[in-house]
Structure 1
Amino acid sequence: MEVRDQDVLFWELAHHLVTKNNFKALHVSGDRKQLWLERETDHDVTVISMSKIDMAYSRGLEDHMKEVANQFQVLKKPPRKKEVNYYHLYVTSIAPVDNWQQKTNEILYTDASKKRPVITKLFAASIGAHHGDDITRFLETIQASEGFPTKEQMLPDHEQVKQHQVTRKRIEVLDELEREQKEIQKVFAYGKPRFTMVLLVLIATVFILIETLASSQDVLALIDFGAKYNPAIDNGEVWRFVTSMFLHIGIFHLLMNALALFYLGNAVERIYGTGRFVFIYFAAGIVGSIASYAFTSQVSAGASGAIFGCFGALLYFGLVYRDLFFKTMGKSLLIILAINIVFGTVVPMVDNGAHMGGLLGGFLAASIVQLPHVKHGLRRVIGAVALVVVAAGVFTYGYVSESSVSSLPLVEMQISQELMEEERFDEAYDVMSEVIDHTEAPEAYFVIGNSEVGRHNYEEALHYYEQAVAGNPEFHEAVYNLGYTYYQLGDAEQGREYVEQAMEMNPDNSHYEDFYERMEG
């Protein structure tokens, strides 16, 4: 029997499944000898691999079946609530002469737990596909038997009619596949990632600038360049919600965010287009900064909130294009997002408030601008109202609440320390005086005491050092500073006593020993 009769059966079956039974053509091999089809209903998913083969004996059939079973593994896992059925269909010119039925009846699995079996069928064109594996019974199994042509309808006597018929049906199936691919391309290639590249250049430029003039890890430099700093925002510097998005603390922070922005920004800008992406990015970044302001007192900077906004925009894409989302990026995206959320929760220095605020802001911003070629007027309104309510509500909470005030004012202590290194002692004192009444941390009393020493206010410094030691008797630095301060006030005996205590607590400290010798000298 001629091969074209094999082609007739192959393309008739494919055409019947695609055009009359809601199967989607997923992929065709370059030689057009393997075709992948899928149909998803409310209750189940049916995946079919169709292969054209010719073999006189079934010797190589088992290996080929295992290869196809492995190919099924790369397909997306269906939703847990849906039953999934995998079929591999062989269409041959003639059936192998040996006992091939025994091999096709063997159940192979796509997973080690043997929960995803692949059912193999073989249909031989030479005998009308009615030998052993009855094609009609198979179609009845998948509820697709109605309207399938008979052998006589598939194989008209006139050769040119038969050739025209199979050509037409092959073209219709491949056109359907091309249409599906164009729809996917239209979704994923709507825009070009121009603004993503601009953002990366701006972020890198700002980092180089701050490293040239100061250091990206200096708190004072970060504040001067526009980092999120709650006291400044309380005084009306709300522009920090935007400027903080372009600052990064150290090269590692920069590289991690740049890498994430490159991949996520590219994806969001391609899907949504440049204009929509700009809105999503800044809306998410601002909401993330507001959440950081409300839930943490630390000086913070970085594009993380806006980057998590890209996650949010892709989640909204998944809400609109659910099937396409899970067939492409869905599972990987959710895993990466979950890892980042867990990481942000367990690592203290990560600004998880900015991340979660950005995630929600990006999702709501995406619902406002909507996806190209998709119009949901009500969702726009709901998204806009929700975005304003969330941003205003979180900002108000941060402004009136003291929950973001740390019992250990690390930021103010670090700022004060850096100011003292620059001999700006009055400014260092002013910073600490704003928070000293709200803390009982010995470290805070120690730092403000140092600023008072720098201002030559030794009586006041003595008072703060005594409070530091009262809070932590083993605080040898504060004990030593008590001795130093008493010495400066003219009480050498008391000073010597405290320095001796500090030396006993930390006997390897050469600085303590040097000062003690000077006192003795």
Structure 2
Amino acid sequence: MTYNEETAYYKMINRLLAVHGFTFVRAEEDLSVCWLEKKQNGITHVVKLNYRTFTWANHLKQDILKTANQIQNMSKGLFAKKTRIHNVYFGEQEPADEWSKLKKPMIIKSKRPIPMQLYYLDGDSYEKESEKLFRHLKLDDKVTLTSADEQELELEKGRLRSLLVQQQQANQAVFHRKKPLLVYGLIGICVVMFLLETLLGGSTDSTVLIELGAKYNPLILAENEWWRIVSSMFLHIGALHLLTNMLSLYYLGTLTEQIFGHRRFLLIYLLGGLIGGLASFAFSDNPSAGASGAIFGLFGALIYFGVVYPKLFWRTIGNGLIVILLINLVISFSASHVIDVFAHLGGLAGGFASALLVGLPGKRNTRARIGGTLLSIALIAGLIWYGLTGSVNDTLRHVLKVEDAVKQNDYSSVISDSTLALDEGDSVYEPMLLFNRGLAYYKTGDIEKSAQDYERLVKLTPEDHAAHYNLALVLQTEGKKEEALKHAKRAVELAPDESQYEQLQQKLSQ
């Protein structure tokens, strides 16, 4: 049978796609060059097929170097750790001059060296070279010479078009498995909670936020209100906070729900938000609220999608998603004084772990799901343990001990625990610790230290009427009547309705 290089070219592509499970990566507009790929036994085989006749070896060499340069410049998403390139040419005849040196395998320099093997199929070498290609691809197959029949050529072209349409439809189906529904429900819950915050006094009022369920470490530790880790996901601080998070939830959420389906999406969102909230609890003692931890969980889930479908990921959403994620991370770190960066990082890790746990529709990978389960459990348990024992909440644990000791009038414990907490450095609890330790010193007769604590406190919180009153009492005990009267008057100015302040002022004025 006569040999036709164009028919042989299309027939080989169809064979690799339809029979051996290769996937289409890219092609020239006229389909004269096609790139296919398949991962097998841990090795990714990338096959570049060309139909073109080279009259001279130098022209062939230039095209080989062009291919090597293309591979170096291709998206990083194309190559796995172990990749083999098979550069296959279909020509009418081989180059007229000596070209045997070009047949030797070459190593393409990249982040990791990539070997590339050349195959040149013409009428004389077709069977030998095709057998070598199948052998290197670890495929048990054999193709015969192809006729020059025009009908067969059109038939093979039609088959290729059909296969490419099928693959395109399969790729589109990945992004449209389910219509997004739950994302609208989640947005609705956040909006309703924001309206409730507004009705109760405002979304920027910390008292309102804590009352409705913001993450607040003191109540989590003292009252075991762990439910706040989840409830805080549906609260927001200010209209801008709500708007930016809901826009992010809409765009990322609809995409994630379409890819993963309803139940998987909901689990990813909640588990990502939970792990993000626990990371905030473990590494920050500031009150916090917002859906951003769960939204970063969606980033994590889409990155997992990129691991499972790397080519589809990089050809569609990959570059844009990574850029947006990096921008968000830069903003998070640069504004960490107002943004809960720990919730963002925890959510990102939690989203990836939960996506690994639930898997993608149509991808049954028991080992991956077990790994995702173990990783999720490890993240949750590790963050809870560190939150309960780590340095971030050390001061808070001492504060809780102080409050308990005050209730029991155990002044020696108040002094020791307050001192431990104050020695750890500046803290939002410093005024309360100074107040209680000053009172404990006063009750145990150490008037000088009590005065020092209250003098330090009134400098720290000059509008605290109780601090001025207690300092006046201490100074009175020390016999410093004039200084005591000054602070007693200040206490009356700040809280004129407190009768005991007025009584002390009158007593000191006599």
When normalised by structure 2's length, the TM-score is 0.62
State the alpha-carbon separation in 1 of the partners of residues 34 and 156 from structure 2. Answer: 14
Q: Distance in 2 between matches of 1:56 and 1:494?
A: 106
Alignment correspondent of 1:371: 360
Deviation at 1:360, TM superposition (A): 6.1
Letter in 1 for 2:31: R
1:169 match? 156
SS in 2 for 1:154: coil
Map 1:52-451 → 2, pairs under 5 A? 52=51, 71-72=70-71, 73-75=73-75, 76-80=77-81, 82-87=82-87, 89=89, 91=90, 115-116=113-114, 128-130=122-124, 134-144=125-135, 147-150=142-145, 153-155=146-148, 162-200=149-187, 202-203=189-190, 210=197, 216-233=203-220, 234-235=222-223, 237-249=225-237, 257-258=245-246, 260-290=248-278, 292-293=280-281, 296-314=284-302, 317=305, 351=340, 354-355=343-344, 358=347, 362=351, 365-366=354-355, 369-374=358-363, 397=385, 405-407=393-395, 439-440=421-422, 447-448=431-432
**SS of corresponding position for 2:134:** coil
Aligned position for 1:510: none
Higher mean C-alpha deviation, range 61-70 or range 263-272 = 61-70
Q: Does the 8 Å contact 2:398/2:420 carry over to 1?
A: no
Secondary structure of the structure 1 residue equivalent to 2:177: coil
Question: 2:321 & 2:129 partners in 1: Cα distance?
Answer: 37
Is 1:467 the counterpart of 2:453 in the alignment? yes
Letter in 2 for 1:281: Y
Which residue does 1:15 correspond to in 2? 14
CA RMSD of aligned residues (A): 5.9
* C-alpha displacement of 1:244: 0.7
Report the 3-state secondary structure (helix = DSSP H, G, I; strand = E; otherwise coil) of the residue aligned with 1:171.
Answer: helix
Instruction: Give the superposition deviation at 1:362.
Output: 4.2
In the alignment, residue 289 of structure 2 is paired with which amino acid? A
User: Alpha carbons of 1:402 and 1:106: their partners in 2 closer, same or farther (altered >3 Å)?
Assistant: closer
Of all paired residues, the percent bearing the same amino acid is 27
Residue of structure 2 in register with 1:38 after alignment: 37
User: Shift of the alpha carbon at 1:227?
Assistant: 0.8
> Structure 1 residues 400 and 113, CA, compared in 2 at 3 Å: closer, same or farther?
closer
Q: 1:222 to 1:15 in 2, by over 3 A?
A: same
How far did 1:216 drift?
4.6
- Per-residue deviation, 1:25: 3.1
**Cα 1:24–1:372, aligned 2, differ >3 Å: closer, same or farther?**
closer
Other structure's SS at 1:48 match: strand
Contact 2:24 2:164 in 1 (8 A): yes
- 1:301-350 deviation line (CA, Å, top 9, x unaligned): 12233234334544665676688678877899799889989998998756
Distance 1:70 1:260, change over 3 A: farther
Corresponding letter in the other structure for 1:184: N
Give the counterpart letter for 1:303 in structure 2.
A
Distance 1:387 1:119 in 2: 43
Structure 1 residues 248 and 462: CA distance shift in structure 2, 3 A: farther
The residue type equivalent to 2:173 in the other structure is K
Deviations 1:12-45 (A, max 9, x none): 3323444555543334444333322223332543
Measured in 2, the distance between the counterparts of 1:368 and 1:45 equals 25
How far did residue 85 of structure 1 move? 1.8
- Equivalents in 2 of 1:173, 1:377: separation in Å? 34
Task: Tell whether the 8 Å contact from 2:25 to 2:36 is kept in structure 1 after alignment.
Answer: yes
- Partner of 1:183, secondary structure, is helix
Q: In 1, Cα distance between the equivalents of 2:399 and 2:182?
A: 34
Measured in 2, the distance between the counterparts of 1:279 and 1:444 equals 35
Which AA in structure 2 matches 1:188?
A: F
Could you tell me how far 1:215 is from its partner in structure 2?
5.7
How many positions carry a matched residue from both structures?
448
- Distance change in 2, residues 1:62/1:469 (3 Å): farther
Which residue matches 2:23? 24
Q: Which ranges in structure 2 are unaligned for 5 or more consecutive residues? A: 401-413, 437-441, 488-510
1:165-195 superposed Cα distances (whole Å, 9 cap, x missing partner):
3333333344333333333333332123343
Give SS of 1:32's match.
coil
1:50 alignment counterpart: 49
Alpha-carbon spacing, 1:446–1:463, altered in 2? closer, same or farther (3 Å): farther
Give the structure-1-normalised TM-score: 0.61
Deviates more, 1:329-338 or 1:364-373: 329-338
Looking at structure 2, the residues matched to 365 and 43 of structure 1 have their Cα atoms a distance apart, in angstroms, of 25
Q: Is the 8 A contact 1:345 1:352 kept in 2?
A: yes
- Contact 1:245/1:306, CA 8 A, preserved across alignment: yes
Instruction: State the AA in 2 paired with 1:466.
Output: Q
Contact 2:120 2:129 in 1 (8 A): no
Which ranges in structure 1 are unaligned for 5 or more consecutive residues? 156-161, 413-431, 453-458, 499-521
Q: CA distance change for structure 1 residues 256 and 409 in 2, over 3 Å: closer, same or farther?
A: farther
